[in-house]
Structure 1
Amino acid sequence: MRRTRTALRGAAAVVTAAGAVTVPVAAAGLAHADTGQVPYQCKIFSTTFDYNATVTVTTPASAEVGDEVTVEADFSNLPGVAPLPVNSWVTTGTVTVSGAQSGSAPIEAPKRTQTIPAYGELPIGKVSGKLTLSAAGAVKIAPAGLTIVAEAGAQATITCAPKAAPAPLATINVAEGGPGASVSPSTVVQGGTVAITGSGWEPGAVELALCDAGGAACEAGDLTDVTASADASGKLTASATVAESAAPGARTIVVTQGAVSKSVALTVTEKTAPPTGACADQPAERCGEQQINLTVNGGPLTMSRQPGEVDLTPVTLDGTEQTATGSLKQVEVIDARGGSTGWSLTGTLTDFSAPAGTKIPAGNLSWTPSCTGAPGASAVTPGSTGPLSTATAATLCSAPDGAGQIVGGTFTAGAGLKLTVPPATGAGQYTAVLTLTLS
């Protein structure tokens, strides 16, 4: 909700309308967690704000080289900055890894659905991910960046980065263990290729299989073009193509050498059909399609007005009722939210008062609103002609809800003003204040 105040003054009547992966129990120790304060600087649209987060990071206290462990970061609520009610949101981010192993790991949380009022605090809560341990020693985990994509009639993206490198909040004591393996990328489309690397293997051939999320139900034909072996130092180098017929979803690559096996999580996404299918029966070298995507981010609902005060025409008392006239300074409304929710611009007015203490009631001022939209803007309606009030808001301009259609654009609003000055009015300079509210 935005407000602007305009002074109205007069001389005798001049009005100034002026994803988690489980570590085998035998490999992972009890959970280790620590809590700290992380100062973030965040941005939504063009607005930046501070987020002094309380963060608890939880990991296993101990594990072995090659284990995949769950890293969980629990964040305190984000300050209330969204100018519109939020209906759902998705949180993603990263943690930094240092010590015996360096780099970063992604974390994410499932989509949350809850109605948060405009400017209400946004619960972040637990955001988790997986990390493959590749070296023995103390591996330290610290929170890093966050991204929150919120749905509020339009999509709003909030990005947060630490003002300084946060201190580690959890440490995993990693021991030398059996052979380890990791896969890249961790998400692959049907028909895509993955690379598997690791250490601690016996020199020689290694077998790969694509299985379900639990490491079972392995289908022989789900991996093709497989090459996998370990060199004399035990370094594993492997690659494979995920068959186009492989079932999409959470899967596992099982790496086996003799009686030893390691499981690595892999997400397989479905290969989409051509955008229109127009090239389905055409040779690939003669016909091709490219899908072009566009992300449109919503903006705020704002208002502004021409500077200065509004002077009504002066009147001279002659024992009869007099009339002073003028025009409201032009107001501009920009609705860049990209949603179907309408808006309303309303006004209230104080009584006119003079330094001597005499007054002219606010209701003596009436306006005749005008309201137009710029080219391409949605429908807009001027308010009704009538008196203003100190308590009851009068509508200057409004845009109705879109009823499934998008509302938005740039709009200008104004009003002709007419003040009735009673015959018995004290001479002097009168001033009133008009408050316009956009909601």
Structure 2
Amino acid sequence: MRRTRTALRGAAAVVTAAGAVTVPVATAGAVLADTGQVPYQCKIFSTVFDYNATVTVSAPASAEVGDEVTVDADFSNLPGVAPLPVNSWTTTGTLAVSGAQTGSVPIQAPKRTETIPAYGELPIGTVSGKLTLAAAGDVKIAPAALTIVAEAGAQATITCAPKSAAAPLATIGVGEGGPGASVSPSTVVQGGAVSVTGAGWAPGPVELALCDAGGGACAPGDLTGATGSADAAGKLTASATVAESAAPGARTLVITQGAVSRSVALTVTEKTPPPTGACADQPAERCGEQKINLTVNGGPLTMSRAAGEVDLTPVTLDGTEQTATGSLKQVEVIDARGGSTGWSLTGTMTDFSAPAGTKIPAGKLTWTPSCTGAPGASAVTPGSAGPLDTTTAATLCSAPDGAGQIVGGTFTAGAGLKLTVPPATGAGRYTAVLTLTLS
């Protein structure tokens, strides 16, 4: 919500438009947590800003090959950069894995719903993921990328990356333990093949299934030609083809042998569709297609007004009511949110007062609103003509919700002003303040 105050004055009245350092917080037990400072560089719309995050990473102190462990990263509040109130947000990201095992851990947090004022700090909190341990030795975990998708009338995406590779904040001592597995490649296109290797398995066949990111909702048709077994030494070899109909995104490959089950993260990407249109029947070496994508980032809802004061016409008392007139300074509203939520511009004002202490009630001033949209803008409606009030807001201009359609554009608003000056009014220069609120 943005406000602007306009002073109203006159001869009987006038209108005026006035580097990581780790600190162990646990040194014994099943889970260890280390805290460090991670300098991030973030971007929202076209604005780049720094986020010196305090991050605590928690992970088991020890585990065995094949174990699936939970890794938590607790982030300090994000600086207040959103130009509009935020109503809800989701946080995702990755943790970097190094040491005996390399790669990354996808992390995410449940959607948070609360109202954060414009430019208020955004709580991030704990973001969690699961890592399947595939090799013995020390596996180190460090903060990496972070993405926050905020709802603020329109969707705003904040992307953050460490300015340099962050130091590990957790180390898992991984023993040989039970069976382990890894998949190659870790990212596969729909219709692509994957191979699975591992050690510590009992001799005999294994079963493969492709499931959602949490290891559930396994779809039988998402893998074709799946086959695999472990030899007498416990060495696992398996392969499968990801069906072209398999849902893209973060998935989990589950390897099962009797009562033993292991999960490995797998990302499925969407297959590029075959040529259509003009290239459908042409040889590939003579006709090609390129997919062109566009990202449209939403902006803020803002208003501004023309500078200077608006003087009502002076009046001379003669024992009868007098009328002073004028025009409100032009106000410009820009709705660049890219959503379907409308807006309204309303006004309240104080009584007119003179240095001698005499007053003219606010209700003696009436306005006749006008507003228009620039070419391409959505519909806009002027408010009703009538008196202004000290507490009840009157509408100068409004844009309705889009009812499923996108609204926005640039709009100008103004109003003709008329002040009725009572016969019994003290001579002098009067001032009042008009406050315009955009919401």
TM-score (ref. length: structure 2): 0.73
The residue that corresponds to 1:314 in the other structure is 314
Specify whether residues 241 and 191 from structure 1 end up closer, same or farther in structure 2 by C-alpha distance, changes over 3 A only. farther
Give the whole-Å Cα distance in 1 for the aligned partners of 2:83 and 2:206. Answer: 48
The 3 A distance-change label for structure 1 pair 407 and 62 is same
Distance 1:239 1:307 in 2: 73
Report the AA paired with residue 378 of structure 1.
S
2:60 aligned partner: 60
Report the residue type matching 1:372 in the other structure. T
Once the two structures are TM-superposed, the CA of residue 388 in structure 1 deviates from its matched residue by 1.1
Contact kept, 8 Å, 2:244 with 2:271, in 1: the verdict is: no
Give the deviation of 1:17 after TM superposition.
Answer: 4.2
Alignment match, 2:5:
5
Instruction: Describe how 1:423-434 pairs up with structure 2 within 5 A.
Output: 423-434=423-434
CA 1:209–1:268 in structure 2 vs 1: closer, same or farther (change >3 Å)?
Answer: farther
Aligned residues: 409
Q: Which moved more, 1:54-63 or 1:277-286?
A: 277-286
Quote the residue 1:368 is aligned against.
368
Letter in 2 for 1:222: G
**Equivalent residue, structure 1, for 2:347:** 347
The one-letter code matched in structure 1 to 2:324 is A
Q: Which letter maps to 1:314?
A: P
> Does the aligned pair in 2 maintain the 1:32–1:170 contact within 8 Å?
no
1:172 CA displacement: 1.0
Per-residue displacement from partner, 1:129-176 (whole Å, max 9, x unpaired)?
355667765444233442112345532112345689866543212346
AA aligned to 2:352 is F
Q: Which residue of 2 aligns with 1:304?
A: 304
Q: Deviation per CA, 1:380-400: give whole Å up to 9, x if none.
A: 111122211111111111111
Q: Distance in 2 between matches of 1:220 and 1:70?
A: 26
Structure 2 counterpart of 1:83, one-letter code: L
The one-letter amino acid of 1:407's match is V
Q: What residue number does 2:25 align with?
A: none
Work out the CA distance in 1 between the residues paired with 2:49 and 2:223.
53
Paired residues for 1:18-167 under 5 Å: 18=18, 31-34=30-33, 36=35, 43-45=43-45, 55-64=55-64, 69-75=69-75, 81=82, 83-84=84-85, 86=87, 89-97=89-97, 105-109=105-109, 112=111, 115-117=113-115, 119=117, 124=124, 126-131=126-131, 137-160=137-160
State how far apart, in whole Å, the 1-side matches of 2:240 and 2:280 are. Answer: 23
User: In 2, Cα distance between the equivalents of 1:34 and 1:378?
Assistant: 52
**Residue matched to 1:395:** 395
Distance 2:373 2:279 in 1: 43
- Is 1:252 paired with 2:236? no
Distance 1:12 1:221, change over 3 A: closer
Residue pair 1:76, 1:123 contacting (<8 A) in 2 also: yes
Match of 1:293 in 2: 293
Q: Compute the displacement of 1:278 (Å).
A: 7.0
Q: Does 1:338 align with 2:338?
A: yes
Q: 1:309 to 1:343 in 2, by over 3 A?
A: same
Q: Please give the per-residue CA displacement for 1:343-369, whole angstroms capped at 9, x wherever unaligned.
A: 110111111112221212111212121
- Separation in 2, partners of 1:275, 1:151: 36
SS at match of 2:412: strand
Deviations 1:201-259 (A, max 9, x none): 9xxxxx999644589989996379x9xxxxxxxxx9x9988465685574538799xxx
Cα pair 1:181 1:262 within 8 Å, conserved: yes
Match of 1:222 in 2: 225
SS of equivalent residue, structure 1 residue 363: helix
Q: Percent identity?
A: 77
In 2: Cα distance, 1:425 partner to 1:163 partner: 67
Residue in 2 that maps onto 1:16: 16
Q: Structure 2: which 5+ runs fail to align?
A: 19-27, 229-234
Q: Paired residue for 1:191?
A: 191
Question: What is the aligned partner in structure 2 of residue 416 from structure 1?
Answer: 416
- Residues 108 and 330 of structure 1, relative CA distance in 2, 3 Å threshold: same
Q: Distance in 2 between matches of 1:2 and 1:333?
A: 11
User: Counterpart amino acid of 1:421?
Assistant: V
- Aligned-pair distance for 1:6? 1.3
CA contact (8 A) 1:248 1:267 kept: no
Q: What's the secondary structure of 2:15's corresponding residue?
A: coil
- Residue 318 of structure 1 aligns to a residue in which SS? coil
Supply the distance in 1 between the matched residues of 2:185 and 2:85 (Cα, whole angstroms): 37
